[in-house]
């Protein structure tokens, strides 16, 4: 379901037909023809009207060039240092202020040149060389060169940094080598192959090696002009930004962006309705429908996002659970049967009001390249679920499922309190599983308590949570899929893989991570997706849609599924006076 605003999909304000100018010209034409003599008329047509037209056109251009865009950050940005960024608010600021060598187009998902005119990844996937643009300066006027790229990479790869951006590049224990070939050419060599190496540079904002302002000297379209903690971050247009539009006008069009720090989503929505903010990203489906009922032109449903909602059972050997429960949770048949008994269509329809798609596997279909299109969606069938459970030795007695030893099949699902969608999903799952005799208790905990149970005490039976995917490449999820890793949620930190299928996933993930051939990598990860669906360590439930709202005063917005959804093309947005 896609709602489109009439004016929002034009590439830029300048490309649109200027209807107001046209009508003004027609009006003056008829006025002149009826009241004035031929000579005067000629003068008007020859000089005055073209002049008027030019003024009107220039006025429009000038009007489109200015304006302030306002939207909310949902938390305080933890840092303005682009290399240390880990939270969403800081990611948004980095996106708007940071200049990168290559940028992934959020609409096409293809890589595009930015500060680098061209780049080349070596066949072994260890090295990348960039040819840089020349004549570019940072916001403080210091010139940009290969030296800045080398400096940024060295800072990023500092082992003490501990940032997600830097960790994504770490392939081996040795140092990263940077070789400045000329002021506009640089080669970077990593100790071991880095899968999807060029794409990772989308997240690396280049720092100035020489500026005294350090991270506040930027190459992106905007720069941080003011920061009022807890209240606002004000970004102003970077006067030295290098990009121009097709007509040769300097980008960005906007004068400034005001980012109001507003953790309360109800307040954000109220402020949008009052016209105090212009955009809302990741809109709740409830708000989406309310807004759509009154102003359908303001809301956008871009379809399934990369984010998934999933549940999993505790398969940790040392978990403080009765042995018979561990046996259920470690049985792939049991997990698959539970998966079959959950009605995903209902979850999408009831909980997300139709703004979610039943999940097929680990990756959403929104990930155009990496999604395995051969995967079959799990068909909801309580009968088939019960049948496979019975084949495994379970039996239904007076509406209650019992295992071989006669234990009632009862378990609890934990989710984070305050997330109304997950709480509702848990209740629906509870109802669905009751149909096959499984009794589910729903428990909500605050997030730190839940993480403690999940990662330290392992004192849980099943967890319902979501996974927010920032990147597209499976390499960014290595720590989820490798059996030895911390984030292998269902059974983390295994010394050696405890099951054959986990050993196979380990092998395939390592194979895809060390290869530079995208086709071979895709084959490996397709197989990983198949194994995950077969074994159901994660029971993927839904992929939420990317919902957003854009005020009618914003021109040029074209919301997409990838972060930052509504303002991915911020440099080409304009805001008309409210």
Residues that bind another protein (CB under 8 A): 76, 78-79, 86, 159, 162-165, 167-168, 170, 228-231, 261-264, 266-267, 270, 274, 445-452, 455-456, 467, 470-471, 476-480, 485-487
Q: Phi first, then psi: what are they for 17, rounded to 5°? A: -60, 140
* Nearest residue (CB) to another protein, 358 versus 471: 471
Do 525 and 339 form a contact (C-beta atoms < 8 A)? no
Shortest Cβ 346–another protein spacing (Å): 28
Shortest Cβ 279–another protein spacing (Å): 17
Shortest Cβ 452–another protein spacing (Å): 4
User: Greatest CA span in the chain, whole angstroms?
Assistant: 107
Q: Helices (DSSP H) in 341-419: which residue ranges?
A: 344-346, 382-391
Closest by Cα among 91, 89, 231 to 164? 91
Shortest Cβ 177–another protein spacing (Å): 20
* Nearest residue (CB) to another protein, 249 versus 265: 265
Shortest Cβ 58–another protein spacing (Å): 38
- ∠ CA 560-117-154, rounded to 5°: 90
* Nearest residue (CB) to another protein, 38 versus 274: 274
Task: Tell me the CA distances in angstroms from 20 to 49, 155, 212, 262, one per residue in order.
Answer: 15, 52, 48, 37
Shortest Cβ 91–another protein spacing (Å): 12
* Nearest residue (CB) to another protein, 39 versus 230: 230
> What span, in angstroms and rounded, lies between the C-alpha atoms of 459 and 465?
16
* Nearest residue (CB) to another protein, 163 versus 407: 163
- ∠ CA 168-169-175, rounded to 5°: 140
> What span, in angstroms and rounded, lies between the C-alpha atoms of 225 and 221?
13
Shortest Cβ 316–another protein spacing (Å): 16
Do 428 and 464 form a contact (C-beta atoms < 8 A)? no
* Nearest residue (CB) to another protein, 165 versus 551: 165
Do 359 and 352 form a contact (C-beta atoms < 8 A)? no
> What span, in angstroms and rounded, lies between the C-alpha atoms of 296 and 289?
9
Shortest Cβ 414–another protein spacing (Å): 12
Task: Tell me the CA distances in angstroms from 196 to 199, 324, 372, one per residue in order.
Answer: 6, 43, 18
* Nearest residue (CB) to another protein, 224 versus 342: 224
Shortest Cβ 509–another protein spacing (Å): 12
* Nearest residue (CB) to another protein, 29 versus 273: 273
DSSP 67-121: -EEEEEESS--S-S-TTT--SHHHHHHHHHH---SEEE-TTT--EEESSEEEEEE
Q: Helices (DSSP H) in 164-294: which residue ranges?
A: 164-167, 197-200, 265-273, 285-294
Do 131 and 119 form a contact (C-beta atoms < 8 A)? yes
On the 0-12 / 13-18 / 19+ scale of CB atoms within 10 A, 322 is exposed
* Nearest residue (CB) to another protein, 123 versus 214: 214
Shortest Cβ 297–another protein spacing (Å): 24
Task: Tell me the CA distances in angstroms from 417 to 87, 120, 123, 355, 450, one per residue in order.
Answer: 21, 47, 48, 22, 9
Shortest Cβ 99–another protein spacing (Å): 22
* Nearest residue (CB) to another protein, 186 versus 482: 482
* Nearest residue (CB) to another protein, 332 versus 467: 467
Closest by Cα among 435, 467, 469 to 346? 435
């Amino acid at each position: 379901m896609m709602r489109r605003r009439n004016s929002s999909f034009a590439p830029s304000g300048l490309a649109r037909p200027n209807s107001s100018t046209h009508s003004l010209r027609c009006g003056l034409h008829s006025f002149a023809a009826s009241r004035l003599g031929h000579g005067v008329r000629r003068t008007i047509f020859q000089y005055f009207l073209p002049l008027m037209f030019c003024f009107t056109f220039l006025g429009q251009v000038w009007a489109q060039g200015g304006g302030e865009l306002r939207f909310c950050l949902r938390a305080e940005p933890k840092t303005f240092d682009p290399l240390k960024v880990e939270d969403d608010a800081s990611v948004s600021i980095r996106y708007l202020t940071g200049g990168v060598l290559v940028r992934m187009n959020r609409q096409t998902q293809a890589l595009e040149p930015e500060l680098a005119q061209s780049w080349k990844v070596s066949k072994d996937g260890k090295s990348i060389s960039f040819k840089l643009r020349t004549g570019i300066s940072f916001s403080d006027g210091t010139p940009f060169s290969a030296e800045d790229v080398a400096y940024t990479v060295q800072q990023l790869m500092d082992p003490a940094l501990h940032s997600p951006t830097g960790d994504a590049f770490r392939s081996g224990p040795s140092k990263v080598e940077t070789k400045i070939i000329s002021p506009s050419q640089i080669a970077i060599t990593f100790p071991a192959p880095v899968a999807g190496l060029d794409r990772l540079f989308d997240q690396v904002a280049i720092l100035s090696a020489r500026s005294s302002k350090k991270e506040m000297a930027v190459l992106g379209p905007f720069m941080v002009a003011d920061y009022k903690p807890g209240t606002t971050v004000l970004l102003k247009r970077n006067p030295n930004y290098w990009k121009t539009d097709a007509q040769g006008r300097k980008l960005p069009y906007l004068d400034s962006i005001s980012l109001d720090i507003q953790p309360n989503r109800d307040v954000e929505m109220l402020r949008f309705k009052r016209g105090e903010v212009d955009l809302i990203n990741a809109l709740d489906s409830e708000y989406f429908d309310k807004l759509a009922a009154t102003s359908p032109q303001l809301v956008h449903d871009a379809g399934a996002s990369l984010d998934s909602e999933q549940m999993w059972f505790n398969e940790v050997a040392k978990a403080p659970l009765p042995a018979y429960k561990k046996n259920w949770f470690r049985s792939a048949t049991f997990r698959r049967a539970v998966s079959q008994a959950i009605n995903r269509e209902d979850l999408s329809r009831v909980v997300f009001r139709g703004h979610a798609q039943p999940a097929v596997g680990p990756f959403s279909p929104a990930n155009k390249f990496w999604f395995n299109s051969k995967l079959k969606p799990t068909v909801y069938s309580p009968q088939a679920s019960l049948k496979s459970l019975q084949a495994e030795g379970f039996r239904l007695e007076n509406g209650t499922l019992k295992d071989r030893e006669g234990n009632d099949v009862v378990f609890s699902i934990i989710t984070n309190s305050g997330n109304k969608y997950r709480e509702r999903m848990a209740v629906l799952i509870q109802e669905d599983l009751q149909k096959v005799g499984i009794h589910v208790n729903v428990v909500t905990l605050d997030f730190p308590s839940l993480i403690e149970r999940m990662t330290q005490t392992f004192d849980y039976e099943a967890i319902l949570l979501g996974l927010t995917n920032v990147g597209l490449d499976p390499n960014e999820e290595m720590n989820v899929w490798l059996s030895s890793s911390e984030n292998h949620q269902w059974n983390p930190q295994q010394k050696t893989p405890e099951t054959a299928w986990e050993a196979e996933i380990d092998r395939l993930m390592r194979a895809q991570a060390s290869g530079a051939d995208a086709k071979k990598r895709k084959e490996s990860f397709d197989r990983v997706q198949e194994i995950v669906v077969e074994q159901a360590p994660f029971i993927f439930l839904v992929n939420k849609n990317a919902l957003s709202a854009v005020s009618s005063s914003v021109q040029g917005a074209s919301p997409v599924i990838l972060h930052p959804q509504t303002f991915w093309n911020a440099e080409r947005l304009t805001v008309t006076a409210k």
